[in-house]
Structure 1
Amino acid sequence: MAIIAQLSDIHLAAGRDGEVDDGSGPVRALRSAVSSLLSLPARPDAVVLTGDLADAGRPAEYARLHALLSPLPMAVYPLCGNHDDRDELRNVFKDHPAIAATATSPQAPLQYAVDVAGVRLVCCDTVADDHLRGHMSEERLAWLDEVLRAAPDRPTVVATHHPPYPIGMRFIDDVRFVDPAGFASVISRHPQVVRIISGHVHRASVGSLAGTVSITSPSTYRQLFLDLTKQGRAAVTGEPAGFALHLIGEDGTATTHFAPTGNYRPLMDVE
């Protein structure tokens, strides 16, 4: 069984001096998330970062991100979100061969596939040209189809930043996939895809796409207010930060847990 941890929407932000303040909220929150992963009785085999890792796509933000993640002993795989800069993010994680191989041209899509303990993790680039909405061009969809066809018998997790299903929160749904139908068509042809995991929503949700369970992870920093009304107020809440853990079996079984950050230890044994 593979255990894949998902951290999302970290939003490390540089100040006016161009540096990231170590006492800032996003830094403290990421430290707590890293500590939480390290305290798990069964440590993940890998960590995937589902976008909006920096707040403004600045080099200092990614350098600090890389440093804050350095205590993790397992591989870390990043995706771009609408707040990210592909080339700056790629430069910081260029020690991963799969990521370095994506540097085919300036701002080339940051998309790649890796193996994690017998499971395939496919990281998609869903950032549209306007750096707000989610979109996968025909070229990106063709790449995804080819990557999935290459390993039809291996349980696969597909990671995106933008969720491909409606969340029910107006201002989030306004900036999700522009055209999820093409993405759904590709997924429907590959039954080995056992989970689609996304960020962007700043809270946990569970949906489906083409018969595949799809989820969004909580943010490691701030959660968005759950307003399901037609008007949809855009606001943050005081809800705890969190992350997701995906347990993927070699037989294709998949279970997802959502956990708040913090080192929660057993209060008593249950007989």
Structure 2
Amino acid sequence: MSCCGPSRRTLLGAMASAALLSALPASRVTAQSVSPVATDLEVVTVTDQSVVLTWTTVAADESGRLVPVPSDAEVRLGAADSVRGPVPVFADPERTPFHYAEIGGLEPGRRYRFEAWSQGARATPALSLTTLTPGTPETTGEFTTLLPPPGRLLRTIALANDVHYGETVSGLVVGGFPPGFRQLAGLPPYPEVMLDALLDDLRAREVDRLVVAGDLTSEATPEESRGVRARLDTWGALGTDYLVTRGNHDRPHVGYQGCTHLGEHRDCWGDNFLPPQQLVEHEVGGLRLLGVDTSELDGSGGRIDRPQFDRLAEVLRADPDRPTLVFGHHPVTRESGLTNTAGPGFVLNGPDSAELQHDYERAPGVFLHHSGHTHRNRRTRPDANIAVEFLEVAAVKEYPGGYSLLRVYEGGYMVNFYKTRAESARRWSSTTRGEYFGLLPDYTFGTFADRNHVVLRDFSGLS
């Protein structure tokens, strides 16, 4: 999907991903006499009591190309079994091209009918299989709120990853391919925009702990490592309020100065956070959080060194039934290896994956393994007979630009993915929809069930 030329292919591409054009200078983003088109509708988040919708408004500029334009926003909502149609429940007084509507006060387990409107145009989904597949909320105009697990809400943990602090071009895979995206001149670097938006969101949502599963930096330089640490420290204390583990981008590099020597490598990230291959151990109200460093010294694949493996096994063996969340950068399962764009060599290597899942067989308290690296929302099947959810969470730094909340109840947990809300973050998220020639949403957004689901388990012993 190209941004250049007025062909039919370009028109469809622009409607499917207005993001490709959202980085144009402000002087080009001017609505003409034609009515705006409301597109890119996504039902992002559905909890037991709320829903989050996003969409974009575009119109033709003086050359006939579709560009984002500010407009109003309205959401109409009603119970699907009501004889009345949806009624207005949300109106945004601030005009923007990048709309974010969160509606609360809904009833658990109830089906609702909805419509999103901007300036007389009803929002429709982009030309993306993720949202155009029959039966999705975007195609039916309906969603059903989740039924929360029984019992009290005990803890809320934010799951995040892939900040890439210091990165300047988003969407590159190999060299300069495919074409990447840069922040507009004069605006703050996009990793800083997206990380700040994340932290602002978490402050508003009363999160108990933040877990960041790797790739905090772009290249683990001294400046990047210090910078991302300083920003995270504005939210809380490392090891208490937020926990981190290392990703492949955070690995020790050759050629840096003034950092800890590891042979010819220099570990600037480790000087600000943790030494290589060190297990993170934390407990809150009886819930155990374990962070595994899966980074290699060189390369993008994943591994776990023997001393860390032994420590992990020792911790699990000492209390195998304790409810445990594990997080690490690289996904674990064979399904993840076969379905990510880079292939099996991109995830945790086979022998380490098998051993890790074998450890989980002997520790039934492990209920969820959170990873990043693939920049997508996806749940994959374990390779062993274990009741562990393997959850990949989309990147903070680019579309869809957000994090997941893990809400732990006495009788189970609920997972919900949220996009970050700041205006600058919504603009950048919309821009980077255009990555991978406009195909990024099909890869990273995930299904409704990947983003929003409930699992029943007994957590009654937690406080």
The alignment's TM-score, normalised by the length of structure 2, stands at 0.46
Q: Distance in 1 between matches of 2:219 and 2:236?
A: 27
Question: Alpha-carbon deviations, 1:232-258, whole Å to 9, x = none?
Answer: xxxxxxx3301011123456x232211
Residue in structure 2 matched with residue 268 of structure 1 by the alignment: none
- AA in 1 matched with 2:389: V
Q: Distance in 1 between matches of 2:289 and 2:378?
A: 20
Whole-angstrom CA distance in 2 between matches of 1:70 and 1:129: 26
* 2:427 pairs with 1:247: no
Counterpart amino acid of residue 90 in structure 1: G
The Cα of 1:22 is off from its aligned counterpart by 8.1
Instruction: Please say if residues 172 and 201 of structure 1, whose CA atoms lie closer than 8 Å, have aligned partners that are also in contact.
Output: no
User: Which whole-Å CA distance do the structure 1 matches of 2:160 and 2:197 have between them?
Assistant: 12
Show CA shifts across 1:133-179 (max 9, x none).
11123433222111112222321001110000223123153310112
1:40-189 to structure 2, matched below 5 A, reads 40=205, 43-73=206-236, 75-85=241-251, 87-93=267-273, 103=275, 108-165=276-333, 166-167=335-336, 168-179=339-350, 180-189=353-362
Alpha-carbon spacing, 1:217–1:115, altered in 2? closer, same or farther (3 Å):
same
> Are the equivalent residues in 2 in contact too, given 1:187–1:193 (CA < 8 A)?
yes
Q: 1:260 aligns to what?
A: 419
RMSD, matched Cα: 2.3
Percent same amino acid at aligned positions? 27
- Helix, strand or coil at the partner of 1:89: helix
Greater strand percent: which structure?
A: 2
Q: Is the 8 A contact 1:52 1:80 kept in 2?
A: yes
Is residue 277–residue 304 contact of structure 2 (8 Å, CA) maintained in 1? no
Matching of residues 25-40 of structure 1 within 5 Å: 25-40=190-205
Question: Do 1:82 and 1:132's aligned partners in 2 also have CA atoms closer than 8 Å?
Answer: yes
Deviation at 1:66, TM superposition (A): 1.7
- Please give the TM-score of this superposition, normalised by the length of structure 1: 0.77
How many pairs align? 228
CA distance in 1, matches of 2:347, 2:167: 26
Q: Which residue of 1 aligns with 2:396?
A: 220
Within 2, Cα distance between the matches of 1:259 and 1:141?
32
* CA deviations over 1:186-216 (Å, ceiling 9, x no partner): 1111100011100101111111323211101
CA contact (8 A) 1:163 1:200 kept: yes
Unaligned runs of 5+ in 2: 1-153, 169-185, 253-266, 424-463
**Residue aligned with 2:342, SS:** helix
- Structure 1 gaps of 5+ residues are 16-20, 94-98, 223-238, 265-271
Shift of 1:218: 1.1
| 3-state SS of 2:415 partner | strand
More deviation, 198-207/128-137: 128-137
Amino acid at match of 2:287: V
Aligned to 2:143: none
Amino acid paired to 1:173:
P
Amino acid at match of 1:135: R
Whether the 8 Å contact between 2:330 and 2:373 is mirrored in structure 1 is yes
Q: Deviations over 1:29-82 (max 9, x none)?
A: 111111111121xx1111111001101011111211122223324611110000
Once the 2 structures are TM-superposed, how far is the Cα of residue 14 of structure 1 from its aligned partner?
Answer: 6.7
Quick one: which amino acid aligns to residue 379 of structure 2? V
Query: Is the 8 Å Cα contact of residues 22 and 28 (structure 1) preserved in structure 2?
Result: no
Return the offset for 1:112. 1.9
Secondary structure of the structure 2 residue equivalent to 1:171: coil
Contact 1:14 1:60 in 2 (8 A): no
